[in-house]
Amino acid sequence: MLTIEFLKQNNLILFEAISGSRSFGLATENSDTDIKGVFYLPKNLFFGLEYIPQVSNDSNDIVYYEIGRFTELLLKNNPNILEILATPEDCILYKNPMMDSFRQEDFLSKLCKETFGGYASTQIQKARGLNKKIVNPVEKERKGILDFCVILEDSASIPAKDWLQKKNFSQDNCGLVKMPNSKGIFALYYDEIGDKKYSGIFKNEDSNEVSLSSVPKGKKSEAYLFFNQDSYSTDCKSYKEYWDWVAKRNDDRYNTNQQHGKNYDSKNMMHTIRLLQSAVNIFKNNKLEIRVKNREELLDIKAGKRDYDDLLSYADELLEELSVLSENSTLPDFSNKEKVERNLVEIREKLYYSH
């Protein structure tokens, strides 16, 4: 397995830089130090069957890209990779002279509208989803099948739990028989003796559907039950999504969001706005600069000093501006693939044939 330690010990690193908030000029005293870089594979791996496109640490805050993969992503105008290329000089830890041949003008194209704008739109959708999770927390106690059952009686529908309580019935002694040509409707029978003749309305708390029972002919039903299985399935999915999110969320970030009380992931929104502003500036200046000039404005967003709806409106405005600027831009439609490929071949020839 190829590791970061192996890359360093064998002098395989071509470029290494501090990335993320420290390179953007947005670091605070609690900011982590992210590292991004470029490497080349040992000759036996590159020419053999074990091509490895990237190497990272367990937390994924240190990532190195194989030079071919790095080039491929630059050609696609991947925002994260273009930001590595635009790293400010004071954040570059090491740079092999061969990397000087990687220039922004060979890569920046109108694709940036789709890649930067598309990524930002995805983050906005995530922010909307997260907003719903924060504003509408899901109770720890999961709803069961009975919560989605009603008894149809005298032209009315009564929650099954209330009906069972009123009748002093146990769900375990109930038997259901599916009614023909009617989705979700069952005839409900009851066994007063409770000698396990029937299967109950459901078997256990993990059941996904109601239980069916064999009922003797001539037995009179107590009522008709409707089970809204679609709503139950939707609720189960929402429950799982919410508590999976709780298990995986960054608690420090979540607590910050709770403290500012604006009900959105403020760090996510800060970087979304920053990314859109970067994209707008690409089309204004034909150049990507990642060191921000509006640090205080962006940190205010991170601190939750802007309203959620205002930020979404601002993001929509930036997306619209990005669309207009890209249409009138002098940037090429696509990167100069032929030139870039020649450059990559020349570099690999030096790496693998010069020693």
Residue 137 pLDDT exceeds 80: no
CA 24/CA 297 separation, integer angstroms: 13
Q: Using 50, 70 and 90 to split pLDDT, how confident is the model at 156?
A: confident
Q: What is the pTM of this model?
A: 0.67
Q: What is the pLDDT of residues 160-196, one digit of tens each?
A: 999 999 999 999 999 999 999 999 999 999 998 877 7
- 262 falls within a domain: no
pLDDT at 132: 55
Q: Domain count of the chain?
A: 2
The 3-class secondary structure across 105-139, one letter per residue, is HHCCCCHHHHHHHHHHHHHHHHHHHHHHHHHCCCC
User: Order of strands, edge to edge, in the sheet holding 174-178?
Assistant: 156-159, 149-153, 223-227, 185-190, 174-178
- 281 falls within a domain: no
- 15 falls within a domain: yes
For residues 218-234, average pLDDT: 93
> 102 with 163, same domain?
no
- 299 falls within a domain: no
Residue that finishes a domain, picked among 179, 200, 235: 235
> 2 with 63, same domain?
yes
CA 299/CA 294 separation, integer angstroms: 9
- 55 falls within a domain: yes
Q: What is the pLDDT of residues 19-76, one digit of tens each?
A: 999 999 999 988 899 999 999 999 999 999 989 999 999 889 999 999 999 999 999 9
Residue 284 pLDDT exceeds 90: yes
The 3-class secondary structure across 215-264, one letter per residue, is CCCCCCCCEEEEECHHHHHHHHHHHHHHHHHHHHCCHHHHHHHHHHCCCC
User: Order of strands, edge to edge, in the sheet holding 92-95?
Assistant: 54-56, 62-66, 34-39, 13-19, 92-95
CA angle, residues 126, 132, 136, in degrees to nearest 5: 155
> 174 with 101, same domain?
no
CATH of the domain at 82: 3.30.460
Residue identified by tokens 């450059």 is 343
> 101 with 163, same domain?
no
How many C-beta atoms surround the C-beta of residue 277 within 10 A? 21
- 112 falls within a domain: no
Q: Using 50, 70 and 90 to split pLDDT, how confident is the model at 141?
A: confident
Residue that finishes a domain, picked among 196, 214, 235: 235
* Phi, psi (degrees; rounded to nearest 5) at 108: -60, 130
**Which of 29-38, 125-134, 256-265 is the least confident region?**
256-265
Residue that finishes a domain, picked among 194, 218, 235: 235
> 47 with 1, same domain?
yes
> 97 with 169, same domain?
no
For residues 306-323, average pLDDT: 91
Q: How high is the mean pLDDT of the chain?
A: 89
Domain residues for the domain of 207 are 145-235
> 96 with 179, same domain?
no
Cα dihedral angle (164, 165, 171, 175), rounded to 10 degrees?
A: -30
